[in-house]
Structure 1
């Protein structure tokens, strides 16, 4: 198949050709929009179809949260669109949430390729119907960051090449980019330079792509899709608060991430969950020591409770054994450690009642901020450029590097929120104003591409 760009003087032969050429010529948001003319006896064109690839994991509420967040934005800003959600693997937890909250969204399954089998079935039909294809938020467009599995690279890039061959505009929404080990850079740069847009959820990723000479017409900051989340399970959330003895507005949420494997992992584990080395075990001890200081100071200063909440399934075990069980008995009496996992909607209903949130992971904090709750993020640099998200939306004073910042600085930031809560709430609102402005601008580009 030919993957060469069309000659500059080529005339568009279809609507998709026109949109692709128009977008490649754009340098800002000025994507030409086609007018629809009503002609007697001839129906207007069908509603645009948007194909969204999303939902990476059912065992992490951040990976769940990307999907309802971006779906809500698509429904809000492009209400006329038919939306198809592609799950390469079944995601029963996420799918139950989507069916409940987005009844008009159609879900399709299937791998893009499997040995000698190419695109087929419902997934093939979805691509044939698509007016634009979007790869949703995450950090899957990397090679050598967590592993060197070449099949993973190809599984992510193959749909883009299909879109190029079939004149389907495509883009990436709320991505972070960290590493292109050889020989991946040439491949990523080739195909992604011909995307209609790349919205990076952190400005460091924008710089990284531009420094590596990606030529995509739109490479800009666009918040993680999870910022759009608004789904709740009030029945479960309120029941849990009653069971745990947590009062609305009177508890701190704490979310940790440890150097520990998935609960069902064997051998070395995978991704960000290796079998911990002695150095990583020491790292965990130092990090959790700072979190213990925060919990102690919060309880003794405010008299309020603490909820240790899981963003990833595995932390229902390790947060208890490595943090909660190590607290002094006098402090432990004011701390609740959730030992069962939950979906994003139940978590949202609990987070909505929190006073403040602290986390080593970003997505629970994104959910909290979307609800208007002040947050403090103390992230490990190893987790990549996504760690700059909170700086980029205007709250750098709530962002720390946990391995470098003294415990007093992290605890001080949380207690400053407590001491001047009105100001902190206003900061949270201002940060979300930045997010919502960018959501509106990014969705305007998707809308014009889909028409």
Structure 2
């Protein structure tokens, strides 16, 4: 039987179309997979926020890639929160699941965090698989300690960063330090903390709390206390003995650090119609907030200040911050979550928290960054908080500029990751 030209072309076209569909189905059925090494602890809503933030970026910029989360800790309701937002997420925790991921995944991404937290796991990945990896938004070296402790790095730190496909730092001070230590990675740049992309929400819990305490949307500010070193030894879950040196330092500095925040609360209550909500970023700060901010307030001010006495998760915190008029205090990640949602936020820092605070300067919010050991900075805290409260339009314009820069860097860095994953 012979085929005429028209029949031949028709059958050839049908065959090509069938092959195209088959190849498409095969590709769709077997997407490339990567490991996200993240989720460092659950006693801090900022450490929790790294993971849903980076997952949101991956969902948006690499929708064709399967992500397997390799966490340190997703207990205490965090796993449920993540699965609610990311129902298809695979969480690998058993040795068998991790081994399978090492075999099937093409890339490992060390997530955003306070340091090169999982360097031993990155080293295990590269020695076991020989596959590529990248570092996404860390502080380096990121040691929470006294000055003599903060510059300690190991040859393994430097080697892991140098051999990465990219090493992104969440503050420019960290990046400069890494370069001075001899890190020579092909791509070494600033990258916003992963928490800038967080979008988990618990509106129901937030609304219930605000109703209970007479707080109305847009009519209150949030404030956060802190001491130089988070007293993790106070939490049974940490199973730590008290660090006497850090405790003594906390006691010495706590009034210096929290008094300006307290004065800003008094000024807001007495000079604006706004109320103030005292919130925790980690599970030690309810006690600190009561002792250092709430209890010493004048009685007329206390009437319009609410002290949150229970810890919360990131989703309820985000929903609460969205309903606020702004935030100020001695922490980093609640401000990040605010800026992510278009809410003004002021950061007060000290060196014991590492260099992470400088990311505020890096994203264009240097006017809202204050060093608690610099008297000229401390003197500006109260007037700056008042200006934020009294000029919300101007404050939100600053936020928009910072948001635009953050989103630009998120897109650029995710495109680098995408190229590395899809060409592996």
- Give the equivalent residue in structure 2 for 1:440: 411
Could you state the TM-score of these two structures normalised by the residue count of structure 1?
Answer: 0.82
Q: Which structure 2 residue ranges, 5 or more long, are not aligned?
A: 1-18, 144-148
Residues 110 and 122, structure 2, Cα contact 8 Å, conserved in 1: no
Equivalent residues in 2 for 1:46-445, closer than 5 Å: 46-110=30-94, 120-141=95-116, 156-178=119-141, 184-258=153-227, 259=229, 261-262=231-232, 263-264=234-235, 268-269=241-242, 276-277=247-248, 279-406=249-376, 407-445=378-416
Deviation at 1:129, TM superposition (A): 1.4
**1:276 aligned counterpart, secondary structure:** helix
Q: Deviations over 1:242-270 (max 9, x none)?
A: 01111111111001112452332566446
Residues 342 and 399, structure 2, Cα contact 8 Å, conserved in 1: yes
Deviation at 1:158, TM superposition (A): 4.0
- Counterpart CA distance in 2 for 1:269 and 1:243 is 36
- Counterpart CA distance in 1 for 2:76 and 2:230 is 25
Residues 372 and 425, structure 1, Cα contact 8 Å, conserved in 2: yes
- Counterpart CA distance in 1 for 2:142 and 2:338 is 29
**2:88 aligned counterpart, secondary structure:** coil
Among candidates 12, 27, 36, match of residue 44 of structure 1: 27
Residues 354 and 373, structure 1, Cα contact 8 Å, conserved in 2: yes
**1:326 aligned counterpart, secondary structure:** coil
Residues 141 and 152, structure 2, Cα contact 8 Å, conserved in 1: no
- Counterpart CA distance in 2 for 1:427 and 1:330 is 32
Deviation at 1:90, TM superposition (A): 4.5
Q: Deviations over 1:185-234 (max 9, x none)?
A: 32222222111111100111111111111111111001100000011101
Residues 37 and 71, structure 2, Cα contact 8 Å, conserved in 1: yes
Deviation at 1:450, TM superposition (A): 1.4
Could you state the TM-score of these two structures normalised by the residue count of structure 2?
Answer: 0.87
Query: Which structure has the bigger radius of gyration?
Result: 2
- Give the equivalent residue in structure 1 for 2:12: none
Deviation at 1:438, TM superposition (A): 0.4
**2:295 aligned counterpart, secondary structure:** helix
Larger mean Cα displacement after TM superposition, 204-213 or 417-426 = 417-426
Q: Which structure 1 residue ranges, 5 or more long, are not aligned?
A: 1-37, 111-119, 143-154
**1:91 aligned counterpart, secondary structure:** coil
CA-atom RMSD in angstroms: 2.1
**1:365 aligned counterpart, secondary structure:** helix
CA spacing shift, 1:63–1:269, aligned 2, 3 Å: farther
After TM superposition, what 4+ stretches of structure 1 lie above 6 angstroms from structure 2? 179-183
Residues 226 and 258, structure 2, Cα contact 8 Å, conserved in 1: no
How many pairs does the alignment contain?
A: 390
Deviation at 1:159, TM superposition (A): 2.9
The structure that is helix-richer by fraction is 2
- Counterpart CA distance in 1 for 2:42 and 2:282 is 9
Deviation at 1:39, TM superposition (A): 6.1
- Counterpart CA distance in 1 for 2:331 and 2:254 is 14
